[in-house]
């Protein structure tokens, strides 16, 4: 099930926060249980004169209070038209701290909100957001874990963790492999994740600071909340699916070609295409040489695979088709030519081998047309393609103890 991550997008200015709170605070002092949007829209233009310079629509004016709601300072009622809201006890404490110029108290109230509240879902500012990810928690935790983060780095983390369901730790590791300024995300979400307003407010309030194009914690935040941030979970609930690149990611190649139906694998490629192993690392060696793990779908025995190994094989092949380097496809959103990974000895044969066959020595980079031909072509066409691939991989397979001749490969698994 797809989820949506929505964050306040109208303004991050603290003067809008203070002006909004003042209106709700005064309404509360007058004994009004709720303050309706029509009155708010009229008064906020008087409080913030720059809003009166142009014709501002109603939703824009109401959203001047969005960050007050986001951090639990104002409670909003979506069930009425026009909408209405009132200041919360937390909001009253925050506004009183503002009136007395108690900066530390203001920062403490906002930090307590970040540490305890939900932001991805069930948040008073964003009714339709339905995400496991709490963006402000992610922002602060990434600053601690990376010793600072750029706007582009934060956008990348939001994208891969929320949209692609990559685990936080793996996303952080990937971001540190290159300068996070070089990380690109699809253009359709770039603006959404690059123009995050709550970071503006946290910086204007003094919870974070921006230096050399990177956000850092201020001395106050480090002193009072460093350990809390270090240990915080970025999720408001256990995510339904996290693709962790430290464990197996299941990719079922056989399913793709069931009943001569080609199921689009672009989403799987999109998820892991930027995540490859350093083949000299212990992490790669451990995964490449791991013990096979089986599971059942009904009565059918299957084996788990690690998509990151497949992507590493494609990267080592320089995103070229092993059948013919002249075969071209298209550039993926990450800037590399799209290729697919093919297990020469298919995973359904794992039961015949004690050694793991979901490994770099058994995986080949191949273009989609050749890949379809291997699975869906006539016998003569399959024979020709597979012989080329077998000749390419025979010595590699033997080097790790996988001994199979071409006749066995073709007759046993592909007829």
**Spatial contact of 346 and 254, defined as CB atoms under 8 Å apart:** yes
| 155 burial via Cβ count (<10 Å: 0-12, 13-18, 19+) | buried
State the pLDDT at residue 43.
93
334 domain residue, yes or no: yes
Indicate if 319 and 220 belong to the same structural domain: no
Cis amide linkage into residue 204, ω under 30° from 0? no
Indicate if 344 and 286 belong to the same structural domain: yes
**Spatial contact of 62 and 82, defined as CB atoms under 8 Å apart:** no
| DSSP 8-state code for residue 289 | T
**Spatial contact of 171 and 43, defined as CB atoms under 8 Å apart:** no
Q: Helices 368-376 & 379-399, crossing angle to 10 degrees?
A: 110
State the pLDDT at residue 272.
41
Integer Cα distance of 133 and 239 in angstroms:
8
Indicate if 190 and 56 belong to the same structural domain: yes
Sign of the CA dihedral running 407, 412, 414, 415: positive
Indicate if 28 and 146 belong to the same structural domain: yes
H helices of 178-297, in order, are: 187-194, 197-205, 219-231, 253-256, 266-272, 282-288
| 332 burial via Cβ count (<10 Å: 0-12, 13-18, 19+) | middle
Indicate if 201 and 268 belong to the same structural domain: no
Indicate if 73 and 181 belong to the same structural domain: yes
Question: 3-class DSSP state for residue 118?
Answer: coil
Number of domains composing the chain? 2
Integer Cα distance of 157 and 25 in angstroms:
36
Domain that holds residue 216: 14-231
- What does pTM read for this prediction? 0.63
Indicate if 112 and 40 belong to the same structural domain: yes
Residue identified by tokens 């320089």 is: 318
Integer Cα distance of 363 and 239 in angstroms:
31
Indicate if 299 and 400 belong to the same structural domain: yes
242 domain residue, yes or no: no
Indicate if 226 and 263 belong to the same structural domain: no
Indicate if 47 and 169 belong to the same structural domain: yes
Half-sphere exposure of 125 (CA within 13 A, CB side): 26
- Phi, psi values for residue 84, rounded to 5°: -150, 160
Integer Cα distance of 309 and 101 in angstroms:
56
Question: 3-class DSSP state for residue 40?
Answer: helix
Q: Give the chain's residues under pLDDT 50.
A: 180-181, 245-252, 254-274
150 token code pair: 């750029």
Indicate if 153 and 276 belong to the same structural domain: no
3 domain residue, yes or no: no
247 token code pair: 């464990």
Q: What is the CA radius of gyration of the chain?
A: 27
301 token code pair: 């025995």
243 domain residue, yes or no: no
Sign of the CA dihedral running 166, 170, 172, 176: negative
Indicate if 36 and 161 belong to the same structural domain: yes
State the pLDDT at residue 392.
94
216 domain residue, yes or no: yes
State the pLDDT at residue 143.
97
């Amino acid at each position: 099930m797809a989820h949506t991550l929505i964050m306040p997008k109208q303004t991050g200015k603290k003067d809008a926060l203070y002006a909004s709170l003042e209106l709700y605070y005064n309404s509360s002092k007058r004994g009004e249980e709720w303050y309706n949007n029509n009155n708010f829209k009229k008064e906020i233009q008087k409080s913030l004169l720059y809003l009166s310079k142009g014709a501002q629509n109603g939703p824009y004016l109401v959203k001047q209070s969005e960050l007050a709601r986001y951090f639990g300072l104002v409670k909003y009622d979506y069930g009425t038209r026009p909408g209405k809201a009132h200041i919360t006890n937390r909001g009253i404490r925050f506004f009183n701290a503002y009136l007395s110029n108690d900066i530390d108290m203001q920062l403490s109230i906002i930090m307590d909100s970040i540490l305890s509240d939900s932001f991805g879902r069930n948040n008073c500012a964003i009714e339709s957001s339905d995400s496991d990810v709490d963006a402000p928690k992610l922002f602060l935790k990434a600053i601690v874990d990376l010793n600072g983060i750029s706007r582009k780095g934060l956008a990348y983390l939001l994208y891969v963790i929320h949209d692609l369901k990559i685990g936080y730790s793996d996303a952080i590791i990937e971001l540190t492999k290159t300068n996070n300024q070089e990380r690109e995300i699809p253009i359709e979400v770039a603006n959404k994740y690059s123009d995050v307003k709550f970071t503006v407010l946290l910086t204007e309030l003094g919870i974070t600071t921006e230096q050399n194009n990177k956000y850092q914690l201020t001395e106050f935040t480090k002193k009072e909340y460093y350990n809390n941030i270090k240990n915080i979970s970025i999720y408001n609930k256990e995510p339904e699916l996290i693709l962790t690149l430290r464990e197996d990611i299941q990719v079922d190649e056989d399913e793709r070609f069931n009943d001569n139906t080609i199921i689009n694998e672009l989403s799987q490629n999109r998820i892991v295409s930027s995540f490859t192993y350093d083949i000299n690392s212990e992490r790669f060696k451990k995964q490449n040489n791991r013990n096979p793990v089986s599971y059942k779908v009904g009565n059918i025995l299957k084996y788990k695979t690690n998509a990151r190994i497949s992507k590493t094989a494609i990267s080592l092949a320089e995103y070229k088709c092993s059948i013919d380097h002249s075969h071209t496809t298209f550039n993926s959103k990450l800037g590399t030519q799209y290729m697919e990974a093919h297990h020469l000895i298919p995973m359904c044969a794992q039961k015949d081998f004690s050694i793991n066959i979901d490994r770099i020595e058994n995986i080949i980079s191949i273009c989609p047309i050749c890949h379809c031909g291997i699975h869906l072509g006539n016998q003569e066409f399959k024979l020709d393609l597979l012989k080329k691939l077998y000749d390419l991989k025979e010595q590699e397979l033997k080097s790790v103890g996988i001994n199979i001749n071409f006749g066995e490969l073709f007759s046993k698994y592909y007829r």
